[in-house]
Amino acid sequence: MNFSELPNPYDFANPVADPDLFAGRTAEMEEIKYYLNHASKSPRAINLAIIGQRASGKTSVLNMIQLEASKRGFCVVRVDLDESDAESQLAFFCKLFDSIFTTVCFQGVYGGLCGKTYDVYRDMVDAYEVPKEKTFCPLIFPIQYAKAMSRGNFQVNLSDTAFKHDISCIQAELGHPIAILLDECDVLTRSRIHLEKLRNIFMNSQGFMLVFTGTPALFPLMDDVFSPIIRQFKKINVGPFSKKEETERCIRRPLERVGISNLSEVFDFETYYDVSEIHDLSGGRPYEIQLICHFLFRRVQEGRAKRMELTVDVLDDVLKELQTSQDVFVRPVITAVRSFDKRQLEALRLLCSCNGYATFDQVWLTEYVFHSDSGFTEESLREHLSQFEKAEVISIKDNITYFMGDDFDRVYCKYLARKHGVPLSINDDLPCEVLISMLLDMTIQEALGEKVVSFSSLSIGADEEPEILEVVRDMSDVNATVNPFESTPDMAAVVYWSNMNFRRSSDFQVASVVVSTPWMKLKRWYGCEDQDVCHHEDGEAEGLLDQINSVLSGPAQRIAVFDGDLRVEVYTVPIIPIELLSEKVLQSGNERERVDFSGQHFMRAVDVYLERRDIDEALFHCNLAHLYDPSPEPPVANNLGYMYMAVGNLSIARELLEKAEKEYKDLHDRALPNYNLGVIAMEEGDYQSALSRFRLAIEQIESEEKEARICACLLLPKVNEEGELEIEELTDPDLLETAQSAVSTVGKLLQDRT
């Protein structure tokens, strides 16, 4: 294939707008979809705050929110903020109002953009003309704005009451909920009053949902203004990709999008070596993944490389690109770091591993406990710190070490260090406690493999009491007054999924690792999450967990030097009957947990159905997914319906498939549930209904490209040699071709009847 004729598919300069190119963020998007669904059904929404460092992908997430909100019937208003919006109340709220009013008029409300009302409105906000005749002037704020601006009164206070009245009228006239997406909200940190007025206006305004994006710098002010933030905003953190699989999808999808069918021709996805290299180098940051891959693909296009492989030459290309955007030679931090040798860069990597979160003593403890053979002594590392202070690369405030460069300096220095073989990563969001928990995970998994996994999020200030046993007692007691899915949801989830994985056994084991240092105490829980473990002979899981003690014996001895402690405890936990567990889930008021469990059971059902064709296991998870969320989103409803249809439960299958067909917004999406409903009609002997469904599916899908018509599997009705109806399951079929074949089958059966 001639790659030079293709466009470079990696656009590092712009946020992702195409959902087919959007990779990762599965957990974040599931949570976002939950709150969009909530807002579409509830009069008062829970607003969202999308928080992440610069170039972390917040705007790409916002683009996906825009698409998801539109699917759910929201009128989506996009507001891109800039520095000028913080200068006055009137300027900020005029921009907000104009975005809302123009968007709804674009949808035909108030006579549309060519109507008299919008024309009068533009006269007021553009020419500051207040009409004497108010017939086409139904709103108050534009009048206030025009009067204030015509008199040069730029700092007049906004009338909250009038603004609230206007947006309520607009929403009522529209008849749909409105989602207001505000990007780059960090500019509002300069004006506390803007946030306070936003709170006052939208707190009790029905039919609106706010979505903010900003860096962590925005949140302390929001937390103070909204007091507490959790009451009105759900915080969604957008960080780097944590899993290499997410980076792999970020690399793969653009190549597929430009029509490269044989991906191995251009990139080695099989060994995963290059994926791991790009993931580690970029730190999982989508912008940097796109930047690296852009130059990897460019080298292939220009004939300088046969495949996309990470080399020193590619790092040079990335560094040159960074230099074109900034004059690196006038940046003192970069100038200093460019003179460092490999040993100094290694020391910088250690000292900046918890940038802004750790003292030198904490960094040294962590390094010594987990990497005693790093080659640094405490004295030599302290000497490097002194050198870096003199070079003004690192500063010390209140004993905490800080890298003195800005975001650009960090990115540039990272790629410069990688040229020397040093994996420098200057982390602004990595407290020392989190680093220790990550090193625990890495140490255990490197020794014991991925069957042993961390079960729960980091627990700071861990208690001596093994809370898992208390959770099990409350779950096992029918009459317990405490429901762990409400009181301790994280640990309840650990117990729940362990029970699911080991339900064929009488008990399972978990291990707790408690780390104590002079400044903190933390706990991590570990267990065997692999579903296959429960099919193995008794003792395998126990043996793996017991080995954690020996794996961590070295770190345990070294942490004692610092008057610290590292202890491992293994607990045997009895299996709780599935019926009792599911009842506890249903009784809980934690709706988010219940819906999340439904989603996870659904994914397990899909995995075991497609990969192992284990019908019994798939049905087990289907039943729990349907129990916890009987009214899922259309894609889930269709796939659940398909699996129920495949096992012969046609009544539940029909209910789910009809729901999917009804709620899908796009016609081409309805083709799949329509086809599946046709198969059900065939099995019930209603050939005329089946024919109608198949023809409708063909009509809805025939204009789509072949790539969009491929399904994981489909049931195809056929006539056997005896002239009887049979149902065959196809793998990776074309929906259009399968529906056409089904029409032919129905025709034969109808002909035989006549």
> What is the rounded distance in angstroms from the CA atom of residue 432 to the CA atom of residue 439?
10
The token pair at 643 is 């699996």
Question: Which residue in 513, 571, 59, 469 sits closest to 286, CA to CA?
Answer: 59
Burial 432-446 (b: 16+ CB within 10 A, else e): bbbbbbebbbebbbe
Q: Which residues lie closer than 8 Å to 746 by C-beta, 6 or more apart?
A: 682, 687, 690, 691, 694, 717
User: What DSSP designation does 404 have?
Assistant: -
pLDDT reported for residue 671: 95
Run of H or E residues at 366: helix 360-370
Residue with tokens 């043996």: 543
| Residue 57, helix vs strand vs coil | coil
- The radius of gyration computed from the CA coordinates of the chain, to the nearest angstrom, equals 30
**Amino acid, res. 260:** I
Would residue 44 be called left, alpha or beta, if left means φ above 0 and alpha means ψ between -120 and 50 degrees?
beta
Residue 464, classified by CB atoms within 10 Å of its CB into exposed (0-12), middle (13-18) or buried (19+), is exposed
Name, in order, each residue with C-beta under 8 angstroms of 465's C-beta and a sequence gap of 6 or more.
none
Q: pLDDT of 179-219, one tens digit each?
A: 999 998 888 877 778 888 888 888 778 899 999 998 877 76
List helix spans (H) across 609-734. Answer: 615-628, 634-646, 650-663, 667-683, 687-701, 706-709
Q: Is 80 exposed, middle or buried (0-12, 13-18, 19+ CB in 10 A)?
A: middle
CA-wise closest residue to 257 among 550, 23, 37, 546: 23
Supply the pLDDT for residue 248: 92
Q: Tell me how crowded residue 655 is: count the other CB atoms within 10 A of its CB.
A: 16
Residues 512, 558 contacting (CB under 8 angstroms):
no
Q: Distance between CA atoms of 148 and 130, rounded to whole angstroms?
A: 11
Residue 599, burial from CB neighbour count under 10 angstroms (0-12, 13-18, 19+): buried
CA distance 437 to 448: 16
CA atoms within 13 A on the CB side of 752: 12
Residue corresponding to tokens 């699989």? 245
Task: Indicate if the alpha-carbon torsion angle 461, 463, 469, 471 is positive or negative.
Answer: negative
pLDDT at position 194: 83
Is 238:287 a contact under the CB 8 Å cutoff? no
Among 216, 178, 181, 148, smallest CA distance to 81 is for 181
Residue range 224-280, pLDDT digits in tens: 655 544 456 788 888 888 888 889 999 999 999 898 988 989 998 888 888 988 998
Structural domains in the chain plus CATH codes: 25-237 (3.40.50.300), 244-432 (no CATH), 433-582 (no CATH), 669-754 (no CATH)
- What would the pLDDT profile of 570-615 be if each residue is shown by its tens digit? 888 899 999 999 999 999 888 878 888 998 899 899 989 988 889 9
Neighbours of 196 (CB within 10 A): 14
Q: Say whether the peptide bond before residue 228 is cis (omega within 30 degrees of 0).
A: yes
What is the distance between the alpha carbons of residues 736 and 706, in angstroms, rounded to a whole number? 9
pLDDT, position 576? 93
- Measured CA to CA, the distance from residue 36 to residue 233 in angstroms comes to 13
* Cα 14 from chain centroid (whole Å): 19
The total number of residues shown for the chain amounts to 754
One-letter amino acid at 169 equals: C
Alpha-carbon span 452 to 458, nearest angstrom: 16
CA distances to 147, 165, 182 from 95, in Å: 16, 17, 11
Backbone angles phi, psi at 8, to 5 degrees: -70, 120
521-528 vs 507-516, strand pairing mode:
antiparallel
Report the C-alpha gap between 209 and 227 in whole angstroms.
Answer: 19
For the chain, which ranges sit under pLDDT 70?
219-232, 373, 428-429, 455-466, 529-542, 754
What count of Cα atoms within 13 Å lies in the side-chain half-sphere of residue 534?
19
The CA distances from residue 406 to 227, 284, 393, 595, 665, in Å, are: 31, 19, 11, 41, 45
Strand, coil or helix: 569: strand
CB 522 within 8 A of CB 436: yes
Q: What is the pLDDT of residue 527?
A: 84
